[in-house]
Amino acid sequence: MDDIRQLLLAAFDAEHREHLAAIRAALAAAEAGRPADWNDVFRRAHSLKGAARAVDLPAVEEVAHRLEALFDRVVQGRTGLDRATSGVVDLALDRIEGLVAGLPKNPEPAAPADAVAALDACLSGAPIPAAGPEAKPDIDRDAGPEPAPERPAEPAPQAQDNAVAYLRIASDQVENLSKAVHDLTAVLQGQEAIGGAVAGLESGARALRRSVDTVQGRTGEMVALARRLREAGDPAGIALDGFVDRVRRLDGDLRAVIRGISGLARVQSRSTGAVDSALRRLRDDADRLLLVPAETVFGGYGRMVREIAREAGLPIEVRLHGLDLQVDRGLLQALKDPVLHALRNTISHGAESPGARRAAGKPEALSVTLSVATKGSQLVVTIRDDGRGPDLARILETGRRQGLVAPGAEPGPEDILELVFAPGFSTAASVDRIAGRGMGLSVVAEAARSLRGRATLRPARPSGAEVTITVPLSAARQPVLLVEAALRPGDAPQTFGLPSGAVAGLLRLTERDLASVAGEPAARIKQGGRDVVVPLVPLASLLGSGVAPLPLRDGLVRAVLLRCGTAQCAIAVDRLLDVRVLLVGPAPPLGGDPTLMSGTIMLADETPALVLDPEGLCARARAGGLVAAPAAAAPGRRAKRVPTVLVVDDSITTRTLEKSILEAHGYRVFVCVDGQDALDRLRRDGADVDLVVADVEMPRLDGFGLLQAVKADPGLTRLPVILMTSRGDPADIRRGLDLGADAYITKQKFDQRELLDTIGQLL
């Protein structure tokens, strides 16, 4: 049960971030005078409340319930969303984020009193009280200005019943474990040689037995000859009888040896397979210990920056992008302090008064964005704001005063901006708690240099500043998708790596998924409930010397969907192998196009392989004209079919719960995020679905609308549909059953046995 709890909390962690980001985006749109979908915001608050109830977080549920009530009034036009109310919503969202971030230390948090009081004041029309300071442990955990020193391994305090126990371990011990596992991998590869030797022995024994069988086939003649010789009184007859007897015994002994060798070969094969599988899991788990999402280090920075701005009385909007990227933990730790200083710098040097921002035609709130991404073999962290931007004249004046610019020299804009990274450099008029000591950007530059990277500052467009920290990933392990492609017909396939952070999806395309745009092949895929067409190019064409056909196996084209900035392209390969966490070294000095290569990796058999650059591949793919006709498909066999259930719910927590329950009981499960997404899938793949379990309250098309559309479609009308929702009013139940629902289950009384029994009866 504890595993399910952890699974649900992980799903809730992702879901609550999605809802908070959408609500904040709506607040930002309203602040900028753009239209906001308050119905969607209300639904998200409702979903957040339900998801919090599902994972037993009453503190989050209490805040979400008040947000739901507030947004309901906004939807109905009974409450406006002025600056003060937006500030209360922002405070409530920060407190929810803090509660969830603090769950490892406090699994049963109390509701935040300041956010609850402020929301109650908004709902009652009373004056809004001032926000109190956020609980210190949460800030320290996520983004304290001083990273905690690492200590040797020490046991955690005794865990409570049903709680997760944690152990603090020094990072070098984890790194030593990972190295030892990789060394063990190389040693155990000798098992393959043993397997080959055993197979050779078995083959030799069988060849020897065939020779004995040939002799054995002549024993009848020998027995007759021996009898005649004995009758003639010739002693050779007795000797020949002895020889025949020995041949028969040799045949029996040889059969026993072959059986023993065959048994040994089977045992060795099973043992090698089990060891290889266990070692693969151990190796991946050990490598994953060193890789963490950027969220674990930078996740609390948005909340912390808003807290600093709130204390300074400055309206601010903070966005965090790419924090799901898996990066070496040591690299993130090295960047923790520099990124914190850069974010503080945006407030101290970029913030303008609301009046000045209005006069400049900007939204009242300062916009700050932290982005984490990979570009080729580089990790790129960007901190951008839309504030006043760098004052080149003031920077130059300060540089001259500090002796950083030679008298009479007139440096260019780039050289002037480099001055801000000098130790002790600051243009602040006075020292306060976040600026004026000249340490901020110098810390950023020094950290980047120590990691063999660099930091840059440049003006942002149309306004503001952008600090970029670029460091190589070559000294860090990172997830790599391994693929195979033969570069020329008849050649053996080669293995290549692709940074998994640039992989948007893995595709298995049928002929109906293939399209043509302006005479160039393309793939038709589903994204966000709609059809999207992306370029499709064989990897062999991008790396080889000529036009290559699309590789087909079992009637499918296997491709990797790459994310290249705002664009996407699909790269067709022969095989999709595995995602492995590997040490990525620098790209070799080979001939050919260097923009297509970003590094090298060492495979399990100690052979090197190239890591390809996604942006270089996409750029070359967009050149077009690199695809020939598809190769002929080999006939495939249809796998035995198991019952398939389509789960439709806009809550990732609920989807995860239902999916895990159904898969644990042998069902194949598809998931869709709303009714329209489900209807599109059913019209495309309805023959593969045996039953639908759908929520009622969903965006675009709700459960009632989905049910009505299914029952009206002649091809789907016999498909069983179960509505499972929090709407338990008799009128809603009656409406669902009148529309043709085969069952109606309320989430408040949810019992997985009832769901499984109902599905079993309908199937």
- For 145-185, how does the pLDDT look when each residue is reduced to its tens digit (9 = 90+)? 333 333 333 333 333 344 444 455 555 666 667 667 766 66
| pLDDT-based confidence at residue 619 (cuts at 50, 70, 90) | confident
Q: What is the average pLDDT value for the chain, to the nearest integer?
A: 78
Secondary structure tally for the chain: helices H, strands E: 24, 27
Q: What pLDDT is stored for residue 159 in this prediction?
A: 36
508 and 467 within one domain: no
Among residues 248, 270, 289, which one ends one of the domains? 289
Please determine, for residue 220, whether its predicted confidence score (pLDDT) is greater than 80.
no
Q: What pLDDT is stored for residue 290 in this prediction?
A: 67
Whether 411 is covered by a domain: the verdict is yes
Task: Tell me the mean pLDDT in the region 250-277.
Answer: 77
Q: How many CB atoms lie within 10 A of CB 279?
A: 17
Q: What pLDDT is stored for residue 139 in this prediction?
A: 36
Q: What pLDDT is stored for residue 195 in this prediction?
A: 64
Please determine, for residue 272, whether its predicted confidence score (pLDDT) is greater than 90.
no
Most confident of 33-42, 90-99, 611-620: 90-99
335 and 442 within one domain: yes
- For 456-471, how does the pLDDT look when each residue is reduced to its tens digit (9 = 90+)? 999 998 899 999 999 8
**Residue 133: is it exposed, middle or buried by C-beta count within 10 angstroms (0-12/13-18/19+)?**
exposed
Among residues 584, 602, 628, which one ends one of the domains? 628
- For 601-614, how does the pLDDT look when each residue is reduced to its tens digit (9 = 90+)? 777 666 788 888 88
> Which of 154, 62, 160 is closest to 106 using CA atoms?
160
Looking at residue 751, what DSSP letter applies?
Answer: -
CATH of the domain at 682: 3.40.50.2300
322 and 467 within one domain: yes
Q: What pLDDT is stored for residue 144 in this prediction?
A: 39
Whether 717 is covered by a domain: the verdict is yes
| pLDDT-based confidence at residue 259 (cuts at 50, 70, 90) | confident
Runs of H (alpha helix) within 378-464: 392-401, 413-418, 440-450
469 and 360 within one domain: yes
CB 655 within 8 A of CB 645: no
- For 62-85, how does the pLDDT look when each residue is reduced to its tens digit (9 = 90+)? 999 999 889 988 888 877 788 888
Q: What pLDDT is stored for residue 431 in this prediction?
A: 40
Pair of tokens at residue 127: 């004056």
Task: Tell me the mean pLDDT in the region 376-401.
Answer: 88
Q: Rounded to a whole number, what is the distance in angstroms from the first to the last CA of the chain?
A: 27
Whether 327 is covered by a domain: the verdict is yes
Task: Tell me the mean pLDDT in the region 234-262.
Answer: 81
| pLDDT-based confidence at residue 566 (cuts at 50, 70, 90) | low
CB 439 within 8 A of CB 341: yes
Q: What pLDDT is stored for residue 521 in this prediction?
A: 81
Q: Which residues contact 191 (CB under 8 A, 6 or more apart)?
A: 268, 271, 272, 275, 276
Whether 298 is covered by a domain: the verdict is no
Q: Helix 440-450 to helix 329-350 angle, to the nearest 10 degrees? A: 160
Residue 464, Ramachandran bin (φ over 0: left; ψ between -120 and 50: alpha; else beta): left
Among residues 475, 504, 526, which one ends one of the domains? 475
Distance CA 752, CA 758 (A): 10
Higher pLDDT, 580 or 140: 580
Runs of H (alpha helix) within 189-300: 190-216, 219-231, 236-290, 295-298
Pair of tokens at residue 694: 């759908």
CB 455 within 8 A of CB 467: yes
- For 401-428, how does the pLDDT look when each residue is reduced to its tens digit (9 = 90+)? 888 888 888 888 888 888 888 876 766 5
Q: Which residues contact 26 (CB under 8 A, 6 or more apart)?
A: 36, 37, 38, 40, 41
Please tell me the number of Cα atoms within 13 Å of 753 on its side-chain side.
0
Looking at residue 243, what DSSP letter applies?
Answer: H
Distance CA 112, CA 62 (A): 9
Q: What pLDDT is stored for residue 545 in this prediction?
A: 57
376 and 365 within one domain: yes
Note down the domain range covering 68.
1-132
- For 636-692, how does the pLDDT look when each residue is reduced to its tens digit (9 = 90+)? 444 456 789 999 988 877 787 788 788 777 888 888 988 998 998 898 877 888 999
CATH of the domain at 567: 2.40.50.180
Whether 706 is covered by a domain: the verdict is yes
755 and 686 within one domain: yes
668 and 590 within one domain: no
Q: What pLDDT is stored for residue 189 in this prediction?
A: 52
> Which of 278, 276, 282, 275 is closest to 179 using CA atoms?
282
396 and 341 within one domain: yes
β partners of residue 327: 292
Whether 165 is covered by a domain: the verdict is no
Residue with tokens 């960007």: 382
Whether 138 is covered by a domain: the verdict is no
Q: What pLDDT is stored for residue 589 in this prediction?
A: 56
Q: What pLDDT is stored for residue 564 in this prediction?
A: 73
Pair of tokens at residue 80: 């406006």
| pLDDT-based confidence at residue 454 (cuts at 50, 70, 90) | confident
436 and 542 within one domain: no
CATH of the domain at 372: 3.30.565.10
Q: What pLDDT is stored for residue 622 in this prediction?
A: 72
Whether 173 is covered by a domain: the verdict is no
76 and 106 within one domain: yes
Q: Which residues contact 187 (CB under 8 A, 6 or more apart)?
A: none
393 and 430 within one domain: yes
Domain count, the chain: 5
Q: What pLDDT is stored for residue 28 in this prediction?
A: 83
Please name the helix (run of DSSP H) or strand (run of DSSP E) that holds residue 90, with its range, or none: helix 83-101
CATH of the domain at 34: 1.20.120.160
494-499/567-573 β-pairing? unpaired
> Which of 721, 683, 680 is closest to 703 using CA atoms?
721
Phi, psi of 367 (to 5 degrees): -100, 125
Report the percent of the chain where pLDDT is more than 90: 10
Q: What pLDDT is stored for residue 386 in this prediction?
A: 92
* pTM of this structure: 0.45
Looking at residue 179, what DSSP letter applies?
Answer: H
481 and 471 within one domain: no
691-694/644-648 β-pairing? parallel
